[in-house]
Amino acid sequence: MAQFKPLVRLTPGRARTATKMMTASAKSDPVSPAPNDCSSLPSMKYFIECTNTYGSESNSGIQRVVRSIVGAAVTIKGDPQMVPVIYGGHHFYSIEGRIRYPESVINTGSVPAQRVASVKGALRKVLQGVRRLLVTVAPFPAVVRFAYAPPTQWGLSRIVMLPLAWKRSGRALVGPARAPVVIGSDDVLVLLDSSWHTTLWNTVDQYRQQGTTVVVVIYDLIPLTHPQFCVPTVVASFTAWIKQAIPRADVVIAISNTIAIELQGVMDTLAVGNDRVPALTYFWLGSDLDGESVSTKVLDLELAQVCRSTIPSYAYVGTIEPRKNHFYALQAFDALWARGIAANFLIIGRIGWHCEDFVRQVKAHPAYGQHLFMFNDVEDNELAHVYDTVRGLIFTSVAEGFGLPIVEGLKRGLPVFASDIPVFREIGQEGVVFVDLDQPDSLADALASHIAQGAHRLGAPIEWMTWRQSALQLQERIAQCLADRSKTMRTAAHDR
């Protein structure tokens, strides 16, 4: 089996240079960013699969990435065209434009809209409760797929949400209303979303047999490398998914060079059953808050007051779960307060899994409501306000595929205090202080030094790519892999 060409590990200096090159390139706004070697490739379309996010009311993690990439992709004109699609059980269907944001974000404030949003919120709570019960009582693959199937397929979500009979972007709850898209042999199917619970492989196989190029996007390998931080059903579902996905892929593209290198180490094992090892590459994510302009949520009064405080405030942005290591950050602030140093700690993120003890600890903390705050329902316009006003961002995660809050914060001139892990070194630039997770006082000492020097924000924002540039880079890296494959095939044919 052929081996991968090693990828270049980006140092912070290389990262800065690459970002500047991408930003400069984007100013010319190329409509077809494919390299010259791709000029001989036939005209094609890139079909961007976004099934799970399309039916989701979440706007964090993978859903944020998918929603932002799709939103940017539909603005890119010219060839090759990028077409967002969802899977409806046996076929893929196109969607109109962007994936709309959760109704909690774009609520118009009208009474009917509020009523519908209220009903949907209640049904989603029922869905989450029944889902947890099902996978706990019967944690079998078929049950898990049924429990987590997106609304475009038959499953628990469709049954629970059926009373609303709601419609969205041309797709009714009972299934896609459009004719299936025609994906040809010259086209590319990009599995961008977390399709772990989507039974699409038989359809993907049909496209592969006709010659369609299949691209699989990998966000991280955390369920494999750090299973202790994941729900068991997620570990099982992801493991089964990646063993199905890699053998079918012509191109595997990670969201960072760090994850691509991790993949390189296990690809031969995962690609069993494929007649060749898929091409491996990576792209970077954008930094603009795409939902800021559409969010109409009124800024939380307590959040606004803390951000305006004369006491330096620092925010940890991210879902509350063990992997994010919020406990380590809280220990650092406990140490600061014990030294008599005034500082506010804002925990911003939805409540995730295996975090009940930590949430109880925060709410019972003597500093809660005075210097320690937790906000679990923050939309993009509120998050933008946080980034624009606090003195620093905390991100002490144990493992990540990228680290969106870091580039979001740097883009708005916010100094970052981050764990010293490879992917953060890859994307980290000036303005990032790396802390040692094995040394409890490392973060506390860094924060104390920052406060002693005036707790200043960065002198200027750190440049990073937009989601439009990210979508263009995704397209460009795939095109380069296809060009390399085409060149290799021509060379092999010539040698014969």
Give a three-class secondary structure readout of 301-344: HHHHHHHHCCCCEEEEECCECHHHCHHHHHHHHHHHHHCCCCCE
| Predicted pLDDT of residue 42 | 52
Q: For residue 305, what are the CA distances in angstroms to 171, 292, 455?
A: 42, 20, 18
196-213 pLDDT, tens digit per residue, is: 877 899 999 999 999 999
Q: How many CA atoms lie within 13 A of 104 on its CB side?
A: 15
Lowest mean pLDDT among 69-73, 110-114, 476-480: 110-114
pLDDT at 45 over 60: yes
Distance from C-alpha of 216 to C-alpha of 208, rounded to nearest angstrom: 13
The domains of the chain, with CATH numbers, are: 37-286+467-495 (3.40.50.2000), 301-452 (3.40.50.2000)
Instruction: Note the pLDDT tens digit of each residue in 81-118.
Output: 999 999 987 899 998 878 877 655 444 444 455 555 56
Is residue 36 scored above 50 in pLDDT? Answer: no
Greater pLDDT, 312 or 79 = 312
Burial letters 355-390, b for 16+ CB under 10 A, else e = beebbeebeebeeeeebbbbbeebbbbbbbbbbebb
Task: Note the pLDDT of residue 179.
Answer: 81
Q: CA gyration radius for the chain?
A: 23
**Res 164 pLDDT > 70:** no
pLDDT at 46 over 50: yes
Q: Once rounded to an integer, what is the mean pLDDT over residues 326-355?
A: 96
Q: What is the pLDDT of residues 60-70, one digit of tens each?
A: 789 999 999 99
Q: What is the C-alpha to C-alpha distance for residues 27 and 23, in angstroms, rounded to an integer? A: 7
What confidence score (pLDDT) does residue 119 get? 65
How high is the pLDDT of residue 1? 32
Q: Which of 85-94, 316-325, 437-446 has the lowest mean pLDDT?
A: 85-94
Other CB atoms within a 10 A radius of the CB of residue 324 amount to 27
Interval 219-262: pLDDT, tens = 999 999 999 999 888 898 899 999 999 999 999 999 999 999 99
Taking all residues of the chain, what is their mean pLDDT, rounded to a whole number? 83
